Amino acid sequence: MAVVLLAAVVAALLTWLPWLHLLAYPFRLLTTLAHEMSHGLAALLTGGRFERFVVYSDGSGVALTAGGWRFVVIASGYLGAALFGAGMIWVGAIPRARRWALGSVGVVALVLSLRYGLPSLLSRDWLAGLLTIASGSVLGGACVALALKAGRRWVLFAVHLIAFQAGLTSLADLLTLIGLANAGSEVATDARSMAQLTHLPAVLWALLWALSAAGLLGASLWAAARRWERAE
C-alpha cells in the first residue's frame, strides 16, 4: 500500500507543481495519446474510419476520423482518457494483471502511434507526426520494458503512477475545458464540436464530461480500495 500512496503523491506533485513540468511532460503526452486514440477507436467501433492523429509539443492533439457515430466519437476523447486512468487504477489492485496491463498499454501505444501517426509524418504536419511516433514508441517501449524486466514493486509503482497521472491530468484538462466553454471561447474544442452537433451549450457538455470522469475515477478508487482491504 505504501508504494501506491507514493505513486499518488508523485502524480499529484507532477500535476500541481509547475517547476516539475519537464518530469510531468511524458505523462502529459501519454494522456494525450489516450485521448486521441480514444477518438479514433470510437470511430472504428461505430463503423467509421480512423485516418490519423497527431500530438503537438504543447500537449494538445488532433484526431482525424470519418464516419461512425459522431456523438460517440466526439465524447470519447476526454471520457476515454479518464477511463484509461480509471481502468489502470482498478487493474492495479489485481496483482496478476499488473504486468499484463502495463505491457498492453505499451503495445497499444506503440502500434497505434506508428499506424496512425505515420500518415501525419508524410503530410504538412510532419513535425507533429514525428513527435507522435516518437512519443508513442518511447513511452510504449518503456511500458513494455518495465512489464518484462522490472521487479514487482516497480511494476506496482509504474501502473499506479500512470493511472493517477492520467486521472489527474484528465480532470485538469476538463476544468480547463469548462473555463473555455464558460468564457465563450472560439477555440476549437470537443465541447464546441458537441455543441454544434446537438445545439446544446458547450459548457453543459464540459460539465457532464467532468462529472462522468470524476465518477469513473471515484468508482475505480473505491473498487481498488475494497480489494486492498481484503488483501490486508
Determine the pLDDT at residue 184: 81
Of 57-61, 64-68, 113-117, 121-125, the one with minimum mean pLDDT is 121-125
Q: Is residue 230 over pLDDT 60?
A: yes
pLDDT tens for 109-159 read 999 999 998 888 877 778 888 999 999 999 999 999 999 999 999 999 999
Residue 186 sits at φ, ψ, to 5 deg, of: -90, 5
Size of the chain in residues: 232
Specify the DSSP element, H or E, that contains 174: helix 152-182
| pLDDT confidence band for 231 (50 / 70 / 90) | low
Which has more pLDDT, 36 or 230? 36
Largest CA distance in the chain: 55
Residue type, 176: T
Residue identified by cell 508513442 is 136
> Which residues partner with 88 through β-bridges?
none
Say if CB 29 and CB 47 are below 8 A apart.
no
pLDDT tens for 150-199 read 999 999 999 999 999 999 999 999 999 999 988 887 888 999 999 999 99
